[in-house]
Amino acid sequence: MGLLGLPFLTQSPGFCAKIYMTEATAKIGQLMMEDLVSMHKEFRCFYGPGDSSYPGWIKDLDSQKVPALLKKVVFGESGDDLGSWMRLYSLDDVESCMKKVQVVKFAEEVCYNGTLIIKALSSGLDIGACNWLINGPNASLSYVSNSILVSLHARNFDINGLKGLDVMVYSDFSCLQSAEVTENGCISPNPDNNYLSTISIDNKDEDLAASLLNTEDSLEEMEKLAFVCSCAAESADAGGSTLITITRVGIVLQLLELMSDYIESSSLKVPIFVISSVAEELLAYTNTIPEWLCDQRQEELISGEPWFDHLKFIKDLKFIKDEKIHLFPAIHSPNLITSWQEPCIVFAPHCSLRLGPSVQLLQRWRGDPKSLLVLEDGISSGLALLPFRPVAMKVLQCSFLSGIRLQKLPTLISILQPKIVLVPDAVSQRINLSEMKINSILNFSENKTLHVPRIADNSSVEITTDLASKLSWRKLRQRENFGIARLKGELQMEDGKHRLVTGLEQEESSGKARPLRYWGTVAQEPLLGALLKMGIKGSIEHSTSENGSENSMIHIANPSRGLIETSEMCTAIVAEDENVAYQILQGIDEVLDGI
């Protein structure tokens, strides 16, 4: 669901970035985008303008004829209200968008530009959903989005992979939605349980993990699913049909599984219909990705069972004669009418109740008090149902867990022990994290750039042993513990690491490499001695310069005239003859450390 807006971004002309997503996300995401496009196309067939342009009223709004006041109402104060509305993308847009995507496999490490190592770790939210781990030469960073710690269907939240990083960007906004008031007498299955609010941070890691990964949440989720099932069964018992508009893949799969089991074990004879242009492909795909499923479902693979039970009820498998789940691409599919029977249970998009097969079905059943509508959380049911009034059918709005519970955040942070945590403003207003024993917690907010202080002092460089053995080492006077060497080779960036490797062509410097930098002070007497050995005679003359610093000069007379001018910080060699100057330099090398 996090990528339905992606084509809007990728179709803008300047867009050239690489997009990473997990293979499963890409596949399911593309199907969902295609479904959206097909529903929209159908909608346009009935209500939209014939050509592919904007509807007339949008075009007219832009023109001069429209009174300024009306414009202001429509576009809002800043002009970005309705004015920034865009036409829905087409199938071509979806395709070209997906071409820009680089898919990664489960826990695959990919390298961006040799610099960053990017890895997707399961977040537990849904099949294919992940948190990102980015390792660079200077720091490691994790991006934690909506996560479910113990999942009923998808691979669990990968805690171990996120431990001990430099920066953690916490981007789970689910806690902001949970406080929304639910309407229409629906259940609000989100009681605030405070069992985790008082955590002593000093607990052992294992205890913390245990408290974090307890199954209470998942049991609660299980209860919710069972409740939806029993509501649907009740309706069916009374002769009413159920329309489920939830589109979260994981929830749909679990509901399908539970319901078919429920029906199988009871005396009810209710068919289940899934009406969506992508239902068949989606359901088939979810049974081919064991790596994204939770352990228990993976185990079922060993015994040769489909990972999702519902599959055995689908006509596709020949050896199951008893069809319980029917898949149809659209409400006008030819075979739908022949197998249609009421009461039934229908899974159909779209959750907004404005698009797709759900619109027609709702028109059909809205007056029937025995029928049931199951809505997703997060949309206002009052607004959604407005065009269908008066609504006599029962409405069940359920909120399923869609992220980390806020109370668990401190525990999570103390297990992961990042050096810096970035928390959204809106989240940190709701929870006091200041008592955490974490180096620092920073807040970030929309449209503001936050500069995170640098963590590591130094970057690491790896030198091949081959190259290291070729370096010419210098011993330092009076510092036996030190060895220094000028570097050679080529510095490369590989797998997010700086590496110094043997270069293609090393210019062999003529003779012995000369030091280019010196430090310390020149002692005159030893220098004179060193020069004498080479047959150069000189005499010392001390002087004090105008600013009071000590200067000394060594006059050289033999073999040709020259002068060595030294002070504490610098030495100048004056000579007409190149060879003499060179010899003097060698003398200096002997009394001065350099590299």
Partner 1 sequence: MAIDCFVLGAGQEIGKSCVVVTINGKRIMFDCGMHMGCDDHNRYPDFSLLSKSGDFDNVISCIIVTHFHMDHVGALPYFTEVCGYNGPIYMSYPTKALSPLMLEDYRRVMVDRRGEEELFTTTHITNCMKKVIAIDLKQTIQVDEDLQIRAYYAGHVLGAVMVYAKVGDAAIVYTGDYNMTTDRHLGAAKIDRLQLDLLISESTYATTIRGSKYPREREFLQAVHKCVAGGGKALIPSFALGRAQELCMLLDDYWERMNIKVPIYFSSGLTIQANMYYKMLISWTSQNVKEKHNTHNPFDFKNVKDFDRSLIHAPGPCVLFATPGMLCAGFSLEVFKHWAPSPLNLVALPGYSVAGTVGHKLMAGKPTTVDLYNGTKVDVRCKIHQVAFSPHTDAKGIMDLTKFLSPKNVVLVHGEKPSMMILKDKITSELDIPCFVPANGETVSVASTTFVKANASDMFLKSCSNPNLKFSNSTQLRVTDQRTSDGVLVIEKSKKAKIVYQDEVSELLHEKNHVVSLAYCCPVKAKGESDNDVDLIKQLSAKILKTVSGAQIHESEDCLQVGSFKGSLCLKEKCMHRPEISSCSEAVFLCCNWSVADLELGWEIINVMKLNLDNTCKVKGDLL
CB of 218 to partner 1, least distance (A): 22
Work out whether 154 is an interface residue with partner 1 (CB under 8 A).
no
Distance CA 395, CA 519 (A): 83
Preceding amide of 343 cis, omega within 30: yes
Interface characters, 238-267, with partner 1 (x: CB under 8 A): ------------------------------
| 27 φ, ψ (degrees, to nearest 5) | -70, -50
- The type of residue at 350 is H
Tell me how many residues contact partner 1 (CB under 8 A): 83
Work out whether 164 is an interface residue with partner 1 (CB under 8 A).
no
Q: Which helix (H) or strand (E) holds 345?
A: strand 345-347
Closer CB to partner 1, 337 or 569, in the complex: 569
Region of 65-73, 304-312, 340-348, 377-385 interacting with partner 1 (CB under 8 A):
304-312
> By the 8 A CB rule, do 535 and 541 touch?
no
CB of 301 to partner 1, least distance (A): 5
Work out whether 226 is an interface residue with partner 1 (CB under 8 A).
no
CB of 490 to partner 1, least distance (A): 7
Q: Which of 490, 523, 529, 539 binds partner 1 (CB under 8 A)?
A: 490
CB of 517 to partner 1, least distance (A): 5
CA R_g for the chain: 36
| 543 φ, ψ (degrees, to nearest 5) | -155, 165
> By the 8 A CB rule, do 334 and 357 touch?
no
Work out whether 464 is an interface residue with partner 1 (CB under 8 A).
yes
- Give the residue among 87, 12, 82 at the shortest CA–CA distance from 52: 87
Work out whether 570 is an interface residue with partner 1 (CB under 8 A).
yes
Closer CB to partner 1, 340 or 518, in the complex: 518
Place of tokens 């906004």: 173
Region of 85-93, 428-436, 489-497, 532-540 interacting with partner 1 (CB under 8 A):
489-497
In the numeric block, which tokens belong to residue 480?
A: 């036996």
CB of 269 to partner 1, least distance (A): 28
What b/e string do you get for 209-220 counting C-beta neighbours within 10 Å, with b at 16 or more? Answer: beebbeeebbeb
Find the binding residues for partner 1 in span 109-128 (CB under 8 A).
Answer: 109, 119
Find the binding residues for partner 1 in span 502-541 (CB under 8 A).
Answer: 503, 505-507, 514-522
What b/e string do you get for 537-548 counting C-beta neighbours within 10 Å, with b at 16 or more? Answer: ebeeeeeeeeee
Sheet with 562-566, side-by-side order of all strands: 537-544, 550-558, 562-566
Work out whether 74 is an interface residue with partner 1 (CB under 8 A).
no
CB of 107 to partner 1, least distance (A): 4
CB of 164 to partner 1, least distance (A): 11
Distance CA 232, CA 238 (A): 10
β-pairing, 562-566 vs 550-558, is: antiparallel
CB of 231 to partner 1, least distance (A): 32
Closer CB to partner 1, 360 or 521, in the complex: 521
Q: Which of 179, 238, 320, 491 binds partner 1 (CB under 8 A)?
A: 491
Distance CA 402, CA 400 (A): 6
Work out whether 562 is an interface residue with partner 1 (CB under 8 A).
yes
Q: Which of 98, 168, 500, 530 binds partner 1 (CB under 8 A)?
A: 500
- Classify 396 as helix, strand or coil: strand
CA atoms within 13 A on the CB side of 343: 22
| 126 φ, ψ (degrees, to nearest 5) | -160, 175
- C-alpha dist (Å) from residue 397 to 184, 275, 282, 378: 9, 20, 24, 9
Closer CB to partner 1, 82 or 572, in the complex: 572
Interface characters, 77-106, with partner 1 (x: CB under 8 A): ---------------------------xxx
- C-alpha dist (Å) from residue 81 to 11, 60, 78: 21, 16, 7
CB of 473 to partner 1, least distance (A): 8
CB of 297 to partner 1, least distance (A): 12
CB atoms under 10 Å from CB of 351, counted, come to 21
Region of 6-14, 73-81, 348-356, 577-585 interacting with partner 1 (CB under 8 A):
577-585
Find the binding residues for partner 1 in span 390-449 (CB under 8 A).
Answer: none
Closer CB to partner 1, 61 or 107, in the complex: 107
